[in-house]
Amino acid sequence: MKELENELAELERKKIETDAVKEEIIQISRYAAYEFTYTSVLKYSDRSSFMGVDIPLTENNFVATIDGRINIGINGNDVKFIENTDSEGRVTAVNIYAPHSQILDNYTIQESLEVFDEKNRIFNPVRPEDYNGLLIEAAKQEEEKILKSDILKKSDETIKYLLTSHFEAVYGEDIEIIYTLTDDSVPAP
């Protein structure tokens, strides 16, 4: 009992208070064309070894699933436009410059983690970092699927439609809208 009291006193002494080191509020302007949801199967297996020989009773493994979401689109701050005017100062056309679509964010939903089969050995237990490493790997694999598919190209088309529709609503249908996808350099308005 005395030992438990000492441990509690030590924990109380080591109490860590948290506070924000940096707080910042920024306006987010995004055009998300697609939200890709996924469920990844996580497989993990590990066994301790010594000098190339597996040590008995040290195997651990698990099979689990986790859900996640990937948003695909563009950052609205990267969209630039230039108004073309006639000699009287009336807008005749608008040039829109927008970047290619990209993965805006990719996050796993931690609460959805479901472990189906876990073998956990006392000499080599499954650690939280084992789970975390697999979650990171699952997110990377899902991003690779997106990059290999044509979804970014479809997103470019959807973003073009959204932006040109928006500009037509603002300027009217009589104004010519010229849409250009850019790689890096966007002309200054």
Residue 1: the pLDDT is 60
pLDDT tens for 136-153 read 777 888 899 899 999 999
pLDDT tens for 8-39 read 565 555 554 545 555 555 556 788 888 888 88
One-letter amino acid at 59 equals: E
Residue 130: the pLDDT is 55
> Is residue 42 within 8 Å of 103, Cβ to Cβ?
no
Would you report the helix, strand and coil content of the chain in percent, each value rounded to 5?
30, 40, 30
Q: Which residue reads 């829109």 in tokens?
A: 96
SS3 track for 90-108 = CEEEEEEEEECCEEEEEEE
Mean pLDDT of the chain: 76
pLDDT tens for 51-84 read 666 555 556 666 777 788 999 999 888 999 999 9
Angle, to 10 degrees, between the axis of helix 128-148 and the axis of helix 151-171?
70
Q: Which helix (H) or strand (E) holds 133?
A: helix 128-148
**CA distance from start to end of the chain:** 73
For 143, list phi and psi in degrees, rounded to 5. Answer: -65, -40
Query: Which residue did the predictor score with more confidence, 97 or 140?
Result: 97
Closest-CA residue to 64 (of 132, 140, 146, 145): 132
